[in-house]
Structure 1
């Protein structure tokens, strides 16, 4: 097989076909129509296997069978096949995620040991920060030294939570960050403790109420890695330690 055909077979496998099904389907499109012998002649699928593979493809709606002697097979059009596979993929996706939803709803809610989670990548950390901020009901502390880490969505979330009556404190040594966040109604800004002044690896800190926290560092390549926890004993203890060391008001 050529490299292109190998990649096409691999792609069909990812869509749910077997390797033999993909090869037979491609072969029939090359032939237009053909018998099991014709298919076996141009593929590595044994003739004895072509019959069962063709039967499976017929059940999938990807080929038609002519009851002749010998039996001939004809593939459906590319557009019809694409639509059939898309519908099948959508159906299987919904079935899979519906089951996961049910399992999640049936969870007994027992405490697990995985209270601390790691998130890597700037976009994923952004999303996690927004999720944590959005859950705040009483108090938020948000800190960063880098203006790029205050995204428009984070700014909007801080503004919305402040408008909803949540106490929002922004902490930064960077003038551009303080200026941006001070402009938000209901958001107060403070300088961090002096002993944090030489920190060149810190990314963001987020404290939400008394049980949610995220801490991130900037990697050597400019990316970002964060640990976070919410609703755990670890989060509560770490928040208390941070407040004690920084004298962050309760």
Structure 2
């Protein structure tokens, strides 16, 4: 089987057809129409299997059967098949996720909730930071030691929230970082405490609305790991502890 045909068969399988169904459907489009013998001659589906596979394809609405002797099969058009498979896929998708929504809301005894999450990798940490920043309504504290940790998406999210009236505080000793925000109205620049000056592993900190927090540390080879929490007792307590230790500017 050629690479293109194999890829097509794989694609049809992703759409819900079996391997034999995909091969018979493709063969019939190659033939235009044909008998089980014709199909078996141009594909590796055994002739004895073509009948049951064709019946299944007929049930799916993907081919028509001519009641002749021998029986002949004709596939529906490509556009019609595309629409049929799309509708079937969407129905199955809806059915699957409706079930997920149902079981998600079912009680399972003692309620548990994961309050603390871990994110690894600079890009993923940056994405999570943007999510937290974008949801803030009142106050944001963002801190970073290195300029490269302030991505364009983070800068954009911070300036957008500041423009929306949210108090935004940038916490850094980096002149490059300060320069990026110096001309943005509504953004306050601040320095971390002196005892943090020698910290070489700190990455980013995000605090939003005293409700969400992200803290990251840097490792070797540009690695970064963060913990974050939102809407949890853990987040509230950690924010209070950090602010009590003068890690963050007060409100």
Say what the alpha-carbon RMSD is for the aligned residues.
Answer: 3.0
Supply the distance in 1 between the matched residues of 2:245 and 2:29 (Cα, whole angstroms).
70
Supply the distance in 2 between the matched residues of 1:18 and 1:97 (Cα, whole angstroms).
23
SS of equivalent to 1:137: coil
1:38-77 paired onto structure 2 within 5 Å: 38-77=38-77
Displacement, 1:45?
2.9
Q: What is the TM-score when the length of structure 1 is the normalising length?
A: 0.82
Displacement, 1:20?
1.7
Query: How many pairs align?
Result: 249
From the superposition, tell whether residues 200 and 93 of structure 1 become closer, same or farther in structure 2 (CA, over 3 Å): farther
From the superposition, tell whether residues 140 and 60 of structure 1 become closer, same or farther in structure 2 (CA, over 3 Å): same
SS of equivalent to 1:30: helix
Q: For the Cα contact (< 8 Å) 2:141–2:248, is it kept in 1?
A: no
Q: What is the TM-score when the length of structure 2 is the normalising length?
A: 0.81
Supply the distance in 2 between the matched residues of 1:200 and 1:79 (Cα, whole angstroms).
60
User: Which whole-Å deviations, capped at 9, do the CAs of 1:102-158 have from their partners, x for residues lacking one?
Assistant: 666x46798524111233444443332222123223321101123343344433432
User: Which whole-Å deviations, capped at 9, do the CAs of 1:23-56 have from their partners, x for residues lacking one?
Assistant: 2112223333222233234434333332222122
From the superposition, tell whether residues 220 and 237 of structure 1 become closer, same or farther in structure 2 (CA, over 3 Å): same
Residue in 1 that maps onto 2:175:
175
SS of equivalent to 2:215: strand
From the superposition, tell whether residues 73 and 203 of structure 1 become closer, same or farther in structure 2 (CA, over 3 Å): farther
From the superposition, tell whether residues 123 and 91 of structure 1 become closer, same or farther in structure 2 (CA, over 3 Å): farther
Supply the distance in 2 between the matched residues of 1:247 and 1:199 (Cα, whole angstroms).
13
Displacement, 1:206?
0.5
Residue in 2 that maps onto 1:23:
23
User: Which whole-Å deviations, capped at 9, do the CAs of 1:229-248 have from their partners, x for residues lacking one?
Assistant: 11112222322333344442
Displacement, 1:226?
2.8
SS of equivalent to 2:30: helix
Supply the distance in 2 between the matched residues of 1:112 and 1:56 (Cα, whole angstroms).
45
Residue in 1 that maps onto 2:186:
186
1:9-158 paired onto structure 2 within 5 Å: 9-97=9-97, 100=100, 106=105, 112-158=112-158
SS of equivalent to 1:112: coil
Q: For the Cα contact (< 8 Å) 2:27–2:43, is it kept in 1?
A: yes
Supply the distance in 2 between the matched residues of 1:159 and 1:99 (Cα, whole angstroms).
41
Residue in 2 that maps onto 1:166:
166
Displacement, 1:57?
1.5
1:191-202 paired onto structure 2 within 5 Å: 191-202=191-202
Moved more, 51-60 or 149-158: 149-158
Residue in 2 that maps onto 1:226:
226
Unaligned segments of structure 1, at least 5 residues: none
Supply the distance in 1 between the matched residues of 2:186 and 2:65 (Cα, whole angstroms).
71
